Structure 1
Amino acid sequence: MRRALPVLAASAAVALALAGCTPDSGTTSQEGASDACRPTASGAASESVKVSGELGAKPEIEAPTPIEGVEETQRTVVTEGDGDLVEPGATANVQFTLINGTTGEPATETSYEEDATEAIVVDEEQYLPGLVKAVECSTVGSRIVGVVPPADAFGEQGLEQFAIGAEDPIVFVVDIVSIKKPLVPAEWTEDVPEVEFDGDGIPTLTLPKTDPPKELQLKVLEEGDGATVESGDTVTVDYQGTSWDTGEVFDESFTKEPLEIATGSVVQGFEAALVGQKVGSKVVVVMPPELAYGTDPEAHALGGQTLVFVMDIQDTAKS
């Protein structure tokens, strides 16, 4: 699935969702990287880009024009930070500059204003793969050069808005300011609703007569033995949504057709409930308004409400 994400500010970069996975071969570990986190390797092209300036400020970039020998994304660490590791699935808050690798011309950049970073989910299904490969397995406080071929950038269509053609490689200089780790539900052990499935597998949920929980919590009702759902997957799931505030079921698929949807296309609480679960599992999850449809009742019909979902995870596949 390809999905364009909006430009976040007048000078901010566009991030596109293109499918693909970072290869395990030909990579080297940055200091502090976990065994499961293997950063993209450096190469002659990325090492040929010279960068100066303070971290967090607009860099001065000198790159060969045109930059050549870019068959796959290359990544070079200019400055290595000593902060947390940016692992797959995390959200990295970054500043970056993007230039056209053929012409050497600037394409776009973030504002480099304090507290005005771009949030990038470290997931190639949601964001530009070359940018993800530059950020993934780096550490907070690092400045990274990423040299990216068209296949990991804007593909055959290029990006006319920023004068990037279909055959143009691109160069990122990325400053990793901070990270937000993946959202993981707490185990739900108290005031858990009763869930009963009838002979057709349709659930009935009975809410306890208590105030709703304040945090995202999940209980596995039945654990499956299938593949594990990963961030960016397209998941086939039956669901039933109930408002804790009204006690009413507001939507469900058990009596219709299962929902098939990419995890990145749903509200935060729903995605967090799916990722990490196995196909065949049945779960119940409660999500506060800020992880569902927001806290403003005027912005959405379910705004300000705590929601409970019963889910039956039937399949998962790479998008």
Structure 2
Amino acid sequence: MRLRPFAVLSTVAVSALLLAGCAGDSGASPSETPTASADLCEQVAAPGAVSDGVTVEGEFGEPSTAKFELEQEVPELQRTVLTEGDGDRIGEGEYVSYAISAFDSTNGERIGDAGYGDAEMLPQDVLANPTLAQVIGCATVGSRLAVAFPAQNGAPSEIYIVDVLKAVPSAAWGEKQDPTDGMPTVKLAEDGEPDVSVPNTDAPKELQISVLKQGDGTEVADGDTTLLHYYGVDWETGETFDSSWSKGAPLSIPGNTYVPGFVQALEGQKVGSQVLVVIPPALAYGEDPEAHDLGGKTLVFVIDILATQHAPAAQ
């Protein structure tokens, strides 16, 4: 089974199906994509005879069945709005969740589905992916699209049904919680970027976790791949040493293969949450300062959990 597309996925399970997917990293800054225009509506592919001729059976948000004339020539990417959603329009810098059903245009056979149910995909920045911008662009949430892809690299032309499921905020949106005594304090900029003040006390010897905002989404499980923003501070100096905010986009790493304390702070938390964690050296980069630049250091992270994608079930 293979799916062509436009998704820049960060999951081993689904990216194995893609011809043009980029597994493992959705952290590239939109500004690093030279072909991406600021106006998403201008990038949308025009409808054509093939995409206009597609009819669909099935409910929005569930795998669908497409009917179309077989063996039609698809000279270029075509995109038709089958039903327009009544949600907000996708805007610049927003991450969008979507699902797809794909079909071989030569024989009508189903190639596969992704983004539905257990086959979830992480949200993507439309502006950072030119093909995704051509397909989804500034569509409204709740829209269903028919997309015809030209033949490529020996693969036949393909028909995709795309459901635009939701837009995901770029910062944690959960309900604010009372701060925990003795923990670092966090102030947020207007865009959600944190500023951390470390107390003038000895660093704790044990892992400390505090939820600053309580989300209501899916719980992060062991082995998940999570889309997140993070801001890291050295307890001793109070200075930041790394931040996804400074890089311009959230990060995802397949399987959440971060340092142990960071992973423990994620597991069991709900999407939409903001988590503050203080990690002792043993659960970070170890006690030896010569083994790593951050060796021997107690680290403080503020983590915004934007989405999570469960690991595929063992077959």
TM-score of the pair, normalised by structure 1: 0.50
The one-character-per-residue Cα deviations of 1:268-308 (angstroms, maximum 9, x if unpaired) are 4233389xxxxxxxxxxxxxx9899995948754796238x
Cα distance between partner residues in 1 of 2:126 and 2:158: 19
Number of residues paired by the alignment?
207
CA contact (8 A) 1:293 1:304 kept: no
CA contact (8 A) 1:63 1:104 kept: yes
Aligned identity (percent) is 25
Structure 2 equivalent of residue 175 of structure 1? 163
Structure 1 equivalent of residue 260 of structure 2? none
Unaligned runs of 5+ in 1: 25-34, 157-164, 185-209, 220-240, 253-266, 275-288, 308-319
Cα distance between partner residues in 1 of 2:232 and 2:122: 31
The one-character-per-residue Cα deviations of 1:215-246 (angstroms, maximum 9, x if unpaired) are 44389xxxxxxxxxxxxxxxxxxxxx972423
User: Does 2:186 match 1:213?
Assistant: yes
Structure 2 equivalent of residue 66 of structure 1? 71
User: Does 2:172 match 1:134?
Assistant: no
CA contact (8 A) 2:126 2:136 kept: no
Structure 1 equivalent of residue 253 of structure 2? none
Please state how far the C-alpha of 1:140 moved relative to its aligned partner. Answer: 0.6
Please state how far the C-alpha of 1:97 moved relative to its aligned partner. Answer: 0.8
Q: 1:107 aligns with which of 108, 111, 115?
A: 111
Cα distance between partner residues in 2 of 1:97 and 1:62: 12
Map 1:80-91 → 2, pairs under 5 A: 80-91=84-95
The one-character-per-residue Cα deviations of 1:119-159 (angstroms, maximum 9, x if unpaired) are 3423465x5x4444222211111111111225xxxx53xxx
CA contact (8 A) 2:80 2:146 kept: yes
Q: 1:50 aligns with which of 46, 52, 55?
A: 55
Q: Secondary structure at the match of 1:270?
A: helix
Structure 2 equivalent of residue 236 of structure 1? none
State the 4+ residue runs in structure 1 displaced beyond 6 angstroms. 289-294
Alpha-carbon distance change, 42 to 295 in structure 1, aligned in 2, over 3 angstroms:
farther
Cα distance between partner residues in 2 of 1:22 and 1:95: 22
Map 1:196-211 → 2, pairs under 5 A: 211=184
Structure 2 equivalent of residue 283 of structure 1? none
Cα distance between partner residues in 2 of 1:59 and 1:123: 23
Q: Secondary structure at the match of 1:269?
A: helix
Cα distance between partner residues in 2 of 1:36 and 1:110: 23
User: Does 2:122 match 1:119?
Assistant: yes
Structure 2 equivalent of residue 243 of structure 1? 233
The two structures, once aligned, show a CA RMSD in angstroms of 4.6
Q: Which amino acid counterpart does residue 90 of structure 1 have in structure 2?
A: E
TM-score of the pair, normalised by structure 2: 0.50
Higher relative contact order (CA 8 A, sep 6+): 2
Please state how far the C-alpha of 1:175 moved relative to its aligned partner. Answer: 1.0
Please state how far the C-alpha of 1:40 moved relative to its aligned partner. Answer: 2.6
Map 1:1-319 → 2, pairs under 5 A: 5-7=9-11, 9=13, 14=18, 16-17=21-22, 21=35, 37-38=41-42, 39-71=44-76, 73-110=77-114, 112-113=116-117, 117-123=120-126, 125=128, 127=129, 129-150=130-151, 156=153, 165-166=154-155, 168-182=156-170, 211-215=184-188, 216-217=192-193, 243-247=233-237, 268-272=244-248, 297=279, 301=285, 305-306=300-301
Q: Which amino acid counterpart does residue 172 of structure 1 have in structure 2?
A: Y
Alpha-carbon distance change, 273 to 50 in structure 1, aligned in 2, over 3 angstroms:
closer
Please state how far the C-alpha of 1:250 moved relative to its aligned partner. Answer: 8.0
Alpha-carbon distance change, 183 to 37 in structure 1, aligned in 2, over 3 angstroms:
farther
Cα distance between partner residues in 1 of 2:98 and 2:274: 25
